[in-house]
Amino acid sequence: MKYYIIAGERSGDLHGGNLVKSLHRYDHHAELRGFGGEEMKLAGVKLSVHYRELAFMGFISLATSIFKIFKFISFCKKDILEFQPDAIILIDYGGFNLQIAKFAKQKGFTVFYYIPPKVWAWYQKRALQLKANVDRMFVILPFEKDFYKKYNWEVDYVGNPVLDAIKAFKPNQEFISTHGICVDKKLVALLPGSRKIELKLIVPLMAEIADANQEVQFIVAAVSNLSDSLYHALKGKSNVKFVEGETYDLLNHADAAIVTSGTATLETALFKVPQVVVYKTNMIEYFIASSLVQVKFISLVNLIAGKEVIREMIQRNAKKELLQVELRKLLHDQVYISSIQSAYENQYRLLDTGSASENTAQFISEYLNRK
């Protein structure tokens, strides 16, 4: 069969690549085309557009790039009509893929959505738009299934691809020696994320904490395609090191972590590392986001639990004094550490439902065969 698959960012490309590998096990003659990156290309997708051309992040960036986005949407529609797929598979990338879903449904194509946009977080009535334009949807967070039931829609919970990636992780036995890490000192992972607008505000805060804790080793999970200048405040400190592309090895050895909100909070939890979430952005972005968001928490860990498991320090609360107190607890308060790790264990069991990509590929294959 022919599949048109769309992922608009790095994480979507990774999950898309794994899904395509699983699809090949059910459809040996699968022909795939679409938007994605190197992982999807290696798995056998003929790329029409690479996701790096779609790198629009944040409300302001989106607003200033709106004409470019519409150009890619128009191209995508034409490419689909030319390819005439048996099914279209959408992966995350909500604003773009919601437009494609509507178009595809109007043209009579079968539409699958793997890792749908977080409509439960803001503007929840977009769930109705998804329901109207998607034939079958595969969600990766347990509470999403109940959320869509409110709209009389039965969706499939397939497990979480982050857990799949962690299960497949093979530790580098030389990580400690390669980076000259002292095993007698506490190790704190710093995960400032990948958005420039956030790094500019969060990295200086992390630098203040490093200065205040000279006896602690800090290792920054840096992003290779970002300018070194964004990490300037942390550079040259005797107790700070940097790694690139080794986040899982870092978390495998960390005693605690300071994490910017995002998938990294869930990854940190699945490695059972006590963490605190810090989030800062500019006032315009924060005002827009805070006026739209309809959930109590920003970290996936707390959202999945439905309660505060880890502390979230957002905007004005993301300051040195509060962060210093929390870090001390994460490193030295054994009762506090145990309570967090116990909650982590519960989340691991909840998410552990087999391979998300394998489950999704099986559902897609069964649906198309029945059709």
With beta carbons less than 8 A apart as the criterion, state whether 67 and 342 touch: no
Q: Which residue has the tokens 């969706």?
A: 155
Provide the pLDDT for residue 38: 94
Would you tell me how many other CB atoms lie within 10 Å of the CB of residue 174?
A: 9
Question: What six digits make up the tokens of 121?
Answer: 């977080």
Place domain 2-159+353-370 in its CATH homologous superfamily: Glycogen Phosphorylase B; (3.40.50.2000)
How far from 256 is each of 160, 207, 276, 371, CA to CA, in Å?
23, 16, 8, 50
Burial class (CB in 10 A: 0-12, 13-18, 19+), 264: buried
Provide the pLDDT for residue 34: 98
Question: What six digits make up the tokens of 153?
Answer: 């829609």
Provide the pLDDT for residue 57: 47
Among 324, 62, 293, which residue's Cα sits nearest to residue 195? 62
The DSSP bridge partners found for residue 259 are: 191, 277
Provide the pLDDT for residue 69: 84
| CA angle, residues 26, 267, 162, in degrees to nearest 5 | 10
Phi, psi of 36 (to 5 degrees): 180, -150
Question: What six digits make up the tokens of 28?
Answer: 């040996």
In CATH terms, the fold of domain 175-351 is Rossmann fold (3.40.50)
With beta carbons less than 8 A apart as the criterion, state whether 140 and 161 touch: yes
How far from 154 is each of 65, 88, 121, 160, 360, CA to CA, in Å?
35, 20, 19, 18, 15
Burial class (CB in 10 A: 0-12, 13-18, 19+), 309: buried
With beta carbons less than 8 A apart as the criterion, state whether 207 and 233 touch: yes
Question: What six digits make up the tokens of 340?
Answer: 């967090």
With beta carbons less than 8 A apart as the criterion, state whether 209 and 234 touch: no
Question: What six digits make up the tokens of 193?
Answer: 């994320």
Amino acid letter, 185: K
Provide the pLDDT for residue 358: 96
CA atoms within 13 A on the CB side of 17: 16
Among 272, 247, 253, which residue's Cα sits nearest to residue 191? 247
Would you tell me how many other CB atoms lie within 10 Å of the CB of residue 210?
A: 22
With beta carbons less than 8 A apart as the criterion, state whether 90 and 97 touch: yes
Q: Encode the chain (371 residues) as per-residue pLDDT tens digits.
A: 999 999 998 889 999 999 999 999 999 999 999 999 999 999 999 999 999 887 654 444 555 567 788 899 999 999 999 999 999 999 999 889 999 999 999 999 999 999 999 898 877 889 999 999 999 999 999 999 999 999 999 999 999 999 999 998 999 999 999 999 999 999 999 999 988 888 999 999 999 999 999 999 999 999 887 889 999 999 999 999 999 999 999 999 999 999 997 889 999 999 999 999 999 876 666 565 565 565 688 899 999 999 999 999 998 899 999 999 999 999 999 999 999 999 999 999 999 999 999 999 999 999 999 97
Among 147, 146, 48, 143, which residue's Cα sits nearest to residue 88? 48
Provide the pLDDT for residue 286: 58
Radius of gyration of the chain (CA): 21
With beta carbons less than 8 A apart as the criterion, state whether 315 and 303 touch: no
Map out the domains of the chain as residue ranges: 2-159+353-370, 175-351
Same fold flag, 2-159+353-370 and 175-351: yes
Provide the pLDDT for residue 60: 45
Residues 6+ apart with CB under 8 A from 39: 13, 14, 16, 17, 18
- Global pTM reads 0.86
| CA angle, residues 329, 334, 339, in degrees to nearest 5 | 90
